[in-house]
């Protein structure tokens, strides 16, 4: 008796892809040393004073009146100059536009007032 047989082909070998493990750059910081709140100067040492004083602002002497006026610093003068230039430029450029708007609004409002007056007079005449 003959039995049926199945022939199975040889398996195909598939190469696997190797995936490397992920790595991470962990940030590191320099240690910051905070002194304790009760920190005091050692007894055998003396205090060192550093000169961090700013020079006094320049003054303007007025000899007739014997008055010394302090002069402003360069930063104050620069800020005031920028503000003044911006204000003048804005005013100069905006004035013509505002004049036109003002004229148109005056005409519009005057027209509304005139129309109200006419309606008011007509109502008065109708009552009489």
- Give me the residue spans of the domains in the chain: 60-127
- pLDDT band, very low/low/confident/very high, at 79 (cuts 50, 70, 90): very high
Whole-number percent of the chain with pLDDT over 90? 34
Q: How many CA atoms lie within 13 A of 36 on its CB side?
A: 4
- Share above pLDDT 70 across residues of the chain, in percent, rounded to a whole number: 98
Q: Over the stretch 99-111, which tens digit does the pLDDT of each residue have?
A: 999 999 999 999 9
Residues forming a β-bridge with 69: 60
Statement: residue 128 has pLDDT above 70: no
Question: What three-state secondary structure class fits 62?
Answer: strand
Q: Is 37 exposed, middle or buried (0-12, 13-18, 19+ CB in 10 A)?
A: exposed
Tens digit of each residue's pLDDT (9 = 90 or more) over 24-70: 888 888 888 888 888 888 788 888 877 777 777 788 888 888 888 88
Whether the per-residue pLDDT at 73 is higher than 80: the answer is yes
pLDDT of 105: 95
| Average pLDDT score, the chain | 87
* Confidence (pLDDT) at 78: 94
CB 59 within 8 A of CB 72: no
Tell me what pLDDT residue 126 has.
Answer: 81
């Amino acid at each position: 008796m003959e039995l049926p047989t199945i022939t199975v082909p040889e398996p195909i070998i598939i190469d696997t892809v190797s995936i490397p493990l992920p790595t991470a750059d962990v940030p590191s910081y320099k240690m910051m040393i905070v002194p304790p709140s009760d920190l005091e100067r050692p007894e055998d040492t003396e205090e060192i004073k550093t000169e961090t004083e700013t020079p006094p602002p320049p003054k303007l002497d007025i000899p007739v009146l014997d008055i010394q006026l302090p002069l402003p610093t360069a930063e104050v003068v620069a800020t005031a100059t920028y503000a003044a230039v911006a204000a003048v430029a804005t005013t100069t450029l905006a004035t013509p536009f505002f004049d036109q708007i003002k004229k148109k609004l005056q005409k519009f409002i005057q027209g509304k007032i005139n129309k109200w007056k006419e309606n008011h007079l007509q109502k008065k005449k109708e009552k009489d």
